[in-house]
Amino acid sequence: MDFHPKKFPTQKENPLLKSGAGFTLIEVIVATAVFSMAMVLATTVFVVFLQQQRRTINQQEMQNDARAVMEEIAQKLREGVADYAYYATNFNLAPQKLLSSLNGSNDECLVIRDALNEQYFYRLAGGKIQKFSTSTPGTTACSTIANWSDITPASLTVEAFSIFISPSQDPFQGKSYKACGKPGDFLDPPDNDKCTDWGTFCTVDGNTCEYQKLTNSILTCYCTPQRFGNVVPLHPKVTISLKVSRVAGQLTLSETYQTTITSRIFKNFDKLNRYAP
């Protein structure tokens, strides 16, 4: 019988538990520095991301507000035209007055008259676009109007409001525009193949075309004396420019928006308008 004590395998010693094992002071300092730099970098990136996101949101809101203001005016311009009668009375149709910076310090404003003879006024005052409308149109100067209402939100500031009206003369009055026809063609109306320039607009001025066509050294087209109805050579259009700004916290945003609106009013058009170029 073996009375020798049984030897059990001893547990493997962990080298980390030995005296003197672990991180040195230099290693701890380096690790802490790397971790701190990583945290600072991550925090900076996060803050920049939040700022950019906030800037994008505010810029989008500013853009939406500016577009809403421009669409409000554009809708009226599509349904009407610049009120040439107003400008003829107040500015004597001086072309330079139709390219105006409406800064609110003078008597300039955008005036529109629609097909129902409603009159709409727009001006810049106190950093806001203001509107006035009346069903009894006239040539009253903007400075005498009292009942203006803001169409811009409180968060939006309009720094500049400029308009350019083209043409500077009322295209619905003045010259009488007719369709061109060959001399001797007095049918009502002349057939398409009987006029070299059928569809070209011309003016009645001593039975001569303003836009004659020279063929074989001969002017072959002239304005017919027949009354086929007046047509308009072009439709009035207005270019609007808005410079707006928005302050949100420490952010200050500023943008300039511009658009051109063409009137959809067809005055004095008869059966010849289908030949309009």
> What confidence tens digit (pLDDT) does each residue in 91-114 have?
654 544 555 666 555 567 888 988
Alpha helices in the chain (DSSP H): 25-79, 84-91
Q: How far is it, in rounded angstroms, from Cα 95 to Cα 164?
A: 9
Average pLDDT over residues 19-42: 79
| Residue closest to 62 by CA, chosen among 151, 159, 161, 156 | 156
Please tell me which residue, 57 or 11, carries the higher pLDDT value. 57
Q: Which residues, including other chains, have CB under 8 Å from residue 249's CB and lie 6 or more apart?
A: 54
| Residue closest to 181 by CA, chosen among 69, 80, 272 | 272
The H or E element spanning position 179 is strand 177-181
Q: How far is it, in rounded angstroms, from Cα 216 to Cα 257?
A: 50
Range with lowest mean pLDDT among 39-53, 134-148, 167-181, 236-250: 167-181
Identity of the highest mean pLDDT range in 93-97, 209-213, 224-228, 232-236 = 232-236
Q: How far is it, in rounded angstroms, from Cα 274 to Cα 51?
A: 56
Average pLDDT over residues 183-212: 42
In Å, what is the CA distance from 239 to each residue of 145, 228, 242?
24, 33, 10
Q: How many CA atoms are closer than 13 Å to the CA of 64, on its beta-carbon side?
A: 8
For residue 71, pLDDT over 90 is answered with yes
Greatest extent of the chain over all pairs of C-alpha atoms, in Å: 149
What is the CB neighbour count within 10 angstroms for residue 55? Answer: 13
Structure-token pair, residue 180: 């061109």
Whether the CB-CB separation of 213 and 221 falls below 8 Å is answered with: yes
Alpha helices in 175-217 (DSSP H): none
Please tell me which residue, 202 or 63, carries the higher pLDDT value. 63
Q: Which residues, including other chains, have CB under 8 Å from residue 262's CB and lie 6 or more apart?
A: 78, 235, 236, 237
**pLDDT on residue 268:** 46
